Amino acid sequence: MQRRTLLIAATTALAAPAFVRAQALEKPKLTIAVGGKNLLYYLPLTIAETQGFFKAEGLDVTIADFAGGSQALRAVVGGSADVVSGAFEHTLNMQSKGQALRAFVLQGRAPQIVLGINPKTMPNFKSLADLKGKKIGVTAPGSSTNVMANFVLAKAGIKPSEVSIVGVGAGNGAVAAMRAGQIDAISNLDPVITLLQRSGDLKIISDTRIVAEADKVFGGPMPAACLYAPQSFIDKHPATVQALANALVRADKWIQGAGAGEIIKAVPENYLLGDRAVYIDAFMAAKGALSPDGLFPEAGAATAVRALQSIDPALKDTKFDLAAAYTNEFVRKANTKYPKG
């Protein structure tokens, strides 16, 4: 009897840490809003889901997919989602509007956004100046693809009001719009970009899938996809936020160690846009721009501010609190817990 009691006690003691950890999550069931989940830009989010990294942290995550990052942001501001998987600059943009949002784990260390022209509608394209008065397709108006387009055009002296911005989504709709000649240029991401490039329906002007080129375009490291949430959510649910950071850091590291075949098996079939070879090419092009460890670069927030101020005159005199836009606190702990992923 005494031996049995000791065995039960020992078993309970071994089980306790996992039970306590699960109980400690303030909000184990939550919703993450994302704009274009199929994009390689958000590959770590998909990997955390399909490889069971969220579940391993005791999380029950619902991912709500929207046409673009600006719509995903509205879902959190409106209260229908808890966390956003979106572009880092939204935290700063919302700060200028008096809303405290903070990024807490990085998915991409370069924007991966490509700006290119339509060879059918612009066969005589010579320079960015030729885009004045043209239709430019973005995932959604106000999204990071829109910011990128405005930023590159601003360098050529073209104001946002001097082009027509058209929301075309992040999948087959974007491809169809280019091929039908409904837009003259596109600012989008992979696998859309690689698919259009391989079929001859795109001529690339600016490619921030290449980290060095992204740093050159933006004048420094430009943080891209990340998980961010209202500061109030982070303050109220620190254990839940830590669990999310743990899952994403594991995903970041899993991707860096994965081959193309492993990636193909890990993502849903509909992400491939009907062509596995294109998706593999897209993954190889984007892999270097994905974060290896979830950490935000110290100069990243300042780079993002410069980009936003260059396209929005109303932000030029805004005093940003750069430290309030992101934190590496949760990611550092995640890297300690999962040094190898």
Q: Residues 64-112: pLDDT tens digits?
A: 999 889 999 999 999 999 999 999 999 999 999 999 999 999 999 999 9
Per-residue pLDDT of 228-268, as tens digits, reads 999 999 999 999 999 999 999 999 999 999 999 999 999 99
pLDDT at 2: 45
Residue 341 pLDDT grade (very low, low, confident, very high; cuts 50, 70, 90): confident
| pLDDT over threshold 90, residue 296 | yes
Distances (CA, A) of 27 to 60, 81, 227: 9, 12, 16
Residue 294 pLDDT grade (very low, low, confident, very high; cuts 50, 70, 90): very high
pLDDT at 232: 98
What's the chain's average pLDDT? 92
**The architecture CATH gives domain 2-111+222-337:** 3-Layer(aba) Sandwich (3.40)
3-state DSSP call for residue 71? helix
**CA distance linking residue 218 with residue 106, whole number of Å:** 18
| pLDDT over threshold 90, residue 295 | yes
Distances (CA, A) of 80 to 37, 64, 93, 232, 285: 17, 9, 20, 15, 34
Q: Residue range 189-194: average pLDDT? A: 95
Q: Residue range 300-323: average pLDDT? A: 92
pLDDT at 12: 40
Same CATH topology for 2-111+222-337 and 114-207: the answer is yes
- Give the neighbor-by-neighbor strand order of the sheet with 135-138: 164-167, 135-138, 185-188, 114-117, 203-207
Q: Residue range 21-32: average pLDDT? A: 85
HSE of 76 in the Cβ direction (CA atoms, 13 Å)? 31
Residue 143 pLDDT grade (very low, low, confident, very high; cuts 50, 70, 90): confident
| pLDDT over threshold 70, residue 49 | yes
pLDDT at 310: 83
pLDDT at 11: 41
Per-residue pLDDT of 264-288, as tens digits, reads 999 999 999 889 999 999 999 999 9
**The architecture CATH gives domain 114-207:** 3-Layer(aba) Sandwich (3.40)
**Domain chopping of the chain, boundaries:** 2-111+222-337, 114-207
Percent of the chain residues topping a pLDDT of 70 = 93
Model pTM score? 0.88
pLDDT at 50: 98
Q: Any idea which of 20-24, 53-57, 208-212, 216-220 has the lowest mean pLDDT?
A: 20-24
Burial of 231 (0-12, 13-18, 19+ CB in 10 A): middle
Residue 176 pLDDT grade (very low, low, confident, very high; cuts 50, 70, 90): very high
**CA distance linking residue 207 with residue 300, whole number of Å:** 18
**CA distance linking residue 278 with residue 282, whole number of Å:** 6
Q: Residue range 162-171: average pLDDT? A: 95
| pLDDT over threshold 50, residue 225 | yes
The highest-confidence range among 6-10, 91-95, 149-153, by mean pLDDT, is 91-95
| pLDDT over threshold 90, residue 313 | no
pLDDT at 297: 97
pLDDT at 27: 98
